[in-house]
Amino acid sequence: MTIQPGEKIPSLILHHKTADGVEEISTEEIFNGKKIVLFALPGAFTPTCSASHLPGYVVKSDEIFAKGVDRIVCLSVNDAFVMGAWGEQQNVEDRVMMIADGSGYFTQAVGLEFDRRQGGMGMRSQRYAMIVNDGVVELLNIEAPAKLEVSDADTILASL
């Protein structure tokens, strides 16, 4: 079942690449006591994700932070090395935290998995964005397949 506004983010361990290597980070560390914009996408280095989705958040990050957001998080069912390399290639710097859900546990727990096994990509995340305040989902915008209309940075910025 898909997570809904008003529900708490599940307690799980995710991963991210730092200067010291791959580190675990709990959802509590990411979300508790903070206002977070999380956007998720089917895969690092994929066309729409690389050309529009992630770059939009990088470009709009100052405006998003000015609305009281503590952190912007990009999540994908990729490993932390891939997410780290993609973040470097996209020049995210400290604007967007690149989080790896390599096994898809978070994606499954929030009910937003997307079966791309027929296309050779395995189980992936749907494209979506959410605003999370102190671990509770306030807004959830899920994209229709092959679209980028409601989870983009402009739409989320207008919702803050």
SS3 8: strand
User: Cα(154)–Cα(42) distance, rounded to whole angstroms?
Assistant: 19
Amino acid, single-letter form, for residue 88: E
74 in active site: no
The residues, ordered by sequence, that sit 6+ positions from 108 with a Cβ below 8 Å of its Cβ are none
Amino acid, single-letter form, for residue 102: G
- Using DSSP bridges, classify how beta strands 35-41 and 71-76 pair: parallel, antiparallel or unpaired: parallel
Residues 26, 91, 116, 144, CA torsion sign: positive
- Strand locations in 66-112 (E): 71-76, 97-100
Among residues 9, 38, 49, 100, which one is catalytic?
Answer: 49
Catalytic residues: 49
